[in-house]
Structure 1
Amino acid sequence: MIAKADYVAGIAKGLAVLESFDTQRQRLNATLAAERAGLTRAAARRHLLTLAHLGYLETDGSYFWLSPKVLRFSGSYLASARMPRAVQPTLDRLAGLTGESFSVVVLDGDQVVIVARSGTARLLAYGLHLGARLPAHATSTGRVLLAAKNRGDFAAWLKGRELPRLTAHTVVEPRALKALVDQVRQQDWCVASEEHELGVHALAVPLRNMEGRTVAALNAVAPRQRLEPQAMRKDLLPLLLESARELRPLL
């Protein structure tokens, strides 16, 4: 927690406006930004204009959108953070060995964020690029990271949370998701089939540091025509588990 005197509300509001932009809404006006950031329209407008003045947004006078300048933050993180550099050689080796796509992902609220990846150039509908944010409840990595929470913390995370349906296969009923997360907690890996995108299967295992704390998840993604879930467990799960053991001293 932070002391009230140390909390800079202006920074928090400005960041809330920046975070209002996502893959569903790339362009926002003051009204939409206010709704998404929980601000008044007048406050949202001032923040949008300030961010545009600083170069973090572009505008046509009515709508605003992110400018390339925002990539300074992600670029600095990827260049300086220890985890992406530590896991990249392993991801490259796995991709070269199997021809599939591999990622390392961390949890951020109700989403997972890709911090390292390697593999085929094929882009899925929601993207597999660095920094891509995916819904935790519908992804193999998200469930692995949710399973790392104790039951009380996971119950608090789940309480009152809306679970969007992305495909006909997406699990959106809280009790069903809880059962799946309990299963992942027991078996220590997860397969998600066509829940995030039709035709795509994903397999994930936790990445733990030397203290035994789960700090990220490692996953493999393959289109349906190349690998069925059973084949993923047979062919890829041993590789992922061994890679997780090898990475542990580096995390």
Structure 2
Amino acid sequence: MAPNREARLKTKRQGFDWSHPLVILAATTIIGAIGWAAKEWYSSFDTSNIRVAVENPRQAVKLIGPQPEYSGSPLFCDTVALSLLLTHSQTGDRPISVNGIEMVQEDIPQESPSSPFSSCDVDPLGDRPYGIGERKVFLMMLAPTGSSGRYIEGTKDTEAWGVSPKNLLSGVGHSRVITLEKNEAPVVFEIFVTSQLKRASKVYFRVSFDAGSERSVVTMPVQLIGSGT
């Protein structure tokens, strides 16, 4: 019998050679592709989302007289303190990556000279915002020349730095991303917003995050005006 024919018959009798490197490579590639497709298919049904809320907005400087209101909501004078809560929606398993928190200021048109905008005065003997903790707090400022901010991490000079109102998570040498996991405690930031503007503003926060795709959500606004207006 010819050698080539004998080799072919021998191979046929022995069956397929699963140990051949090319066969192993092909099998590994196919298994990996199937696993990736299954993961993507499962992820397409994941409903993970973020919950964002401004909680407990409050007057942070003592007023002379009652708290003014506008359109049925408090009009805070000089400085408002609030808690910004970020948490996982608990409706899926995917972690949420928060990569941006923007403070947005918009003017509120003054309707008439008799509006509550004209009665917003604070106690000159108690003009320092009360309730500011020693650490983990944002101090934001609305000024005629533009908005600015500062984050206080601790009590040392090196534990405080400037932040941009465009992204409170971005400071010089201190940029970060927050990860929200299912079944973990919410992340809460204490924020003080002071206005030096002689006009009323509404202030809210736009939170950018990744839950399988880039998205954003905004909070309910608070109303604020500079003192002495």
TM-score range relative to shorter protein:
under 0.3
More helix by share: 1
Normalized against structure 1, the TM-score is what? Answer: 0.23
More strand by share: 2
* Higher RCO (CA-CA < 8 Å; seq separation 6+): 2
Normalized against structure 2, the TM-score is what? Answer: 0.25
